[in-house]
C-alpha cells in the first residue's frame, strides 16, 4: 500500500462516522528489518492528536477506521526516536547502499505492507511517476502504474532537518562502504545532506578521517568551516600526514596556526615538515610514513617491523634498507620477505640499486619514474641520499587525472 493513499484520508470511528483526517504515519526505526507503524498523527477538531497503533482497526487506501467505543486521544507530541513518514522521509534523500556504486535516491513514495499483524515500511519508490501519484486527486492515484520498489533494508535514511527526533544512519551499513564511496555520496548531496553523512560516519572517528581524505578540497573546507578548531584538529589528527598537510595548507593562515597547535607534537612536526616543500614536488607529495631498516638485519626482523607498523596496508608494500651511514641502499617488496627464509640477511634479498627521486623532483619526473620501473611506491631522498618519505601511486594518479575524475555518474536518482 502506498503512503500517499493514506495521507489526508478520513479518520473514522468504529461506526464509520468521520472524526477527522490522517496527517501522517509514525514509525520507530530499528537497527534492522522493516520499521513498524506505531501510530498516526491525526487532525481532529482543529487539533493534532496522537492515535496509537493498537487503536487502529483497519488501515486501507482512502480511510482509517478506529476500534473501541470511546475516543481518548492525547495531543500529538513527537517522542525521541519517532519518525513521521510524510514529514521526515517522503521527498527526502536516502542512500541505497546495495547499489553499485552506492547512490542517493529520493523517496517519492513510501511502500507499506502488513506483516504478522503489523503495518511496516517495506520500501520506497524513487521514480518520478511516484511523485505524480502523490499530486493526483485520490480517485486518480490508482491510475499510476506500480513498479518494483527499493527494499527498505537496502537503504539508509537521513533527515537532518528534524530537530527533536534526529533520524540517523545506523552506521552499520555505511561501515560496509569504502570511504571513497561515502565521499562520492557526500559530494553528490546537498550541503545539509552531506553534513548528515559526515556526522553519521563521525560515530567511527577513523572512518570519518578516511572519508575526509577522500573528499575533494572544496568539500573538505566546506565541512570544516563551521566546526570548532578542536573538532577540526581531532579529524586531522587521524588523517595520514600527507593528506593532513594538503588540507591544512588550504586553511587561512591564522586558523591554520591554531589548529596545528592542537595536534599531537609528533604529528605536528611531520606536517610542518611537509609544509616546507613545494606541493607540486616529490617533497610535497610524499608521506613520511615508511619502514626503513638496517641492511644487516634479517627477513624475520623486517617482517616483525611490518607486523608492528600502523602504516596503511596499501602504503606498506615495500621495506627500504639503510646502510651504515643511514643512506638508502636497497629495497625489498613485502611479498619477497614473506617468501624468504626467516634468517636470510636483507642484503641478500634486496634490490641494490633502489629507485628514488629527490625532494625537488617535479610531478612529471615522479610519474615517469614510477611508470618506467612499475612502482606503486617510490622513495624520496634528501640531499644526503637519506629517505625522508615515499610517494604512492594513488597520490600521483589523483594529480595527473583530469579534474573531477572520481565523480561517478548515477549517484543521485530522482
Lowest mean pLDDT of 231-235, 270-274, 386-390, 407-411, name the range. 407-411
- On average, the pLDDT of the chain sits at 85
Residue 171 has pLDDT above 70, yes or no: no
pLDDT band (50, 70, 90) for residue 166: very low
Give CA separation, 256 vs 92, 223, 236, 239, 253, in Å.
36, 15, 11, 16, 5
Locate the domains of the chain by residue range.
Answer: 3-157, 174-280, 292-395
CB 382 within 8 A of CB 359: yes
Residue 47 has pLDDT above 50, yes or no: yes
Query: What is the rounded CA–CA span in Å between residue 174 and residue 201?
Result: 7
Q: How high is the pLDDT of residue 268?
A: 93
**Mean local confidence (pLDDT), 69-74:** 65
pLDDT band (50, 70, 90) for residue 201: confident
Query: What is the rounded CA–CA span in Å between residue 237 and residue 244?
Result: 8
Task: Give the DSSP per-residue string, 247-312.
Answer: HHTTS-HHHHHHHHHHS-HHHHHHHHHHHTS-TTBHHHH-BS---EEETTSBHHHHHHHHHH--S-
Residue 189 has pLDDT above 90, yes or no: no
Q: How high is the pLDDT of residue 72?
A: 63
Helical (H) or strand (E) element with 39? strand 37-44
Q: How high is the pLDDT of residue 199?
A: 82
**Mean local confidence (pLDDT), 64-77:** 76
Residue 14 has pLDDT above 90, yes or no: no
pLDDT higher at 244 or 401: 244
Residue 152 has pLDDT above 60, yes or no: yes
Q: How high is the pLDDT of residue 234?
A: 93
- Cis ω for the linkage preceding 357 (within 30 of 0): no
- pLDDT tens digit string along 112-132? 999 988 899 999 998 877 666
pLDDT band (50, 70, 90) for residue 196: confident
* C-beta pairs of 140-147 under 8 Å, 24+ apart in sequence: 141/2, 141/4, 141/5, 141/61, 142/61
What does the block give as the cell for 308? 608492528
Q: Does pTM surpass 0.75?
A: no
Q: How high is the pLDDT of residue 15?
A: 86
Lowest mean pLDDT of 74-83, 151-160, 352-361, 403-412, name the range. 403-412
Count how many residues are written for the chain. 414
**Mean local confidence (pLDDT), 372-398:** 93
**Mean local confidence (pLDDT), 37-43:** 91
Q: How high is the pLDDT of residue 172?
A: 61
Q: How high is the pLDDT of residue 165?
A: 39
Q: Which CATH superfamily is domain 174-280 in?
A: MgtE N-terminal domain-like (1.25.60.10)
Per CATH, the architecture of 292-395 is what?
Answer: Roll (3.10)
**Mean local confidence (pLDDT), 8-34:** 87
Residue 283 has pLDDT above 90, yes or no: yes
Q: Quick one: which of 156, 234, 236, 154 has its CA closest to 196?
A: 156
Residue 342 has pLDDT above 70, yes or no: yes
Q: How high is the pLDDT of residue 397?
A: 87
Q: How high is the pLDDT of residue 80?
A: 73
Please calculate the CA angle 380-381-386 and round it to the nearest 5 degrees: 135
Give CA separation, 380 vs 15, 302, 354, in Å.
83, 20, 11
pLDDT band (50, 70, 90) for residue 73: low
- pLDDT tens digit string along 221-260? 999 988 999 999 999 999 999 999 999 999 998 899 999 9
Can you list the positions of beta strands (E) in 85-174? Answer: 93-96, 103-106, 109-115, 118-125, 150-151, 155-157
**Mean local confidence (pLDDT), 196-222:** 88
Q: Quick one: which of 178, 234, 246, 233 has its CA closest to 210?
A: 178
Q: How high is the pLDDT of residue 408?
A: 59
**Mean local confidence (pLDDT), 80-102:** 85
Q: How high is the pLDDT of residue 169?
A: 47
Lowest mean pLDDT of 55-59, 308-312, 400-404, name the range. 400-404
**Mean local confidence (pLDDT), 343-357:** 90
Cell numbers 545539509 correspond to 192
Q: How high is the pLDDT of residue 136?
A: 58
Q: How high is the pLDDT of residue 406?
A: 58
Amino acid at each position: 500500500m502506498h503512503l500517499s493513499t493514506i495521507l489526508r484520508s478520513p479518520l473514522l470511528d468504529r461506526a464509520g462516522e468521520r472524526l477527522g483526517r490522517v496527517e501522517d504515519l509514525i514509525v520507530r526505526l530499528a537497527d534492522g528489518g522493516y520499521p513498524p507503524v506505531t501510530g498516526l498523527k491525526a487532525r481532529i477538531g482543529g487539533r493534532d492528536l496522537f492515535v496509537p497503533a493498537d487503536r487502529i482497526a483497519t488501515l486501507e487506501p482512502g480511510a482509517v477506521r478506529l476500534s473501541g467505543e470511546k475516543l481518548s486521544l492525547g495531543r500529538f507530541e513527537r517522542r525521541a526516536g519517532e519518525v513521521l513518514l510524510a514529514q521526515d522521509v517522503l521527498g527526502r534523500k536516502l542512500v541505497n547502499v546495495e547499489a553499485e556504486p552506492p547512490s542517493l535516491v529520493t523517496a517519492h513514495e513510501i511502500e507499506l505492507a502488513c506483516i504478522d499483524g503489523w503495518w511496516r515500511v517495506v520500501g520506497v519508490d524513487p521514480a518520478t511517476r511516484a511523485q505524480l501519484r502523490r499530486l493526483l486527486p485520490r480517485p486518480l492515484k490508482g491510475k499510476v502504474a506500480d513498479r518494483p520498489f527499493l527494499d527498505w533494508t537496502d537503504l539508509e535514511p537521513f533527515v537532518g532537518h528534524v530537530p527533536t527526533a534526529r533520524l540517523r544512519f545506523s552506521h552499520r551499513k555505511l561501515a560496509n562502504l569504502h570511504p571513497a564511496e561515502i565521499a562520492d555520496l557526500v559530494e553528490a548531496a546537498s550541503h545539509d545532506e552531506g553534513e548528515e553523512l559526515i556526522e553519521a560516519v563521525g560515530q567511527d572517528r577513523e572512518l570519518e578521517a578516511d572519508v575526509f581524505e577522500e573528499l575533494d578540497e572544496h568539500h573538505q573546507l566546506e565541512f570544516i568551516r563551521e566546526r570548532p578548531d578542536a573538532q577540526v584538529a581531532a579529524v586531522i589528527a587521524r588523517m595520514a600526514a600527507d593528506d593532513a598537510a594538503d588540507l591544512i595548507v588550504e586553511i587561512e593562515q591564522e586558523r591554520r596556526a591554531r589548529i596545528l597547535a592542537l595536534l599531537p607534537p609528533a604529528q605536528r612536526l611531520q606536517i610542518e615538515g611537509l609544509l616546507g616543500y613545494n606541493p607540486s614536488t616529490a617533497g610535497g607529495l610524499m608521506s613520511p610514513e615508511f619502514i626503513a631498516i638496517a641492511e644487516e638485519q634479517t627477513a624475520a626482523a623486517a617482517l616483525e617491523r611490518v607486523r608492528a607498523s600502523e602504516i596503511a596496508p596499501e602504503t606498506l608494500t615495500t621495506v627500504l634498507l639503510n646502510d651504515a651511514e643511514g643512506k638508502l641502499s636497497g629495497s625489498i617488496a613485502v611479498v619477497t620477505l614473506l617468501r624468504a627464509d626467516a634468517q636470510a640477511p636483507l642484503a641478500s634479498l634486496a634490490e641494490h640499486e633502489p629507485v628514488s627521486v629527490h625532494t625537488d623532483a617535479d610531478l612529471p619526473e615522479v610519474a615517469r619514474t614510477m611508470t618506467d620501473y612499475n612502482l606503486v611506491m617510490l622513495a624520496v631522498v634528501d640531499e644526503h641520499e637519506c629517505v625522508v618519505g615515499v610517494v604512492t601511486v594513488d597520490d600521483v594518479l589523483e594529480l595527473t587525472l583530469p579534474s573531477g575524475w572520481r565523480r561517478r555518474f548515477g549517484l543521485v536518482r530522482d
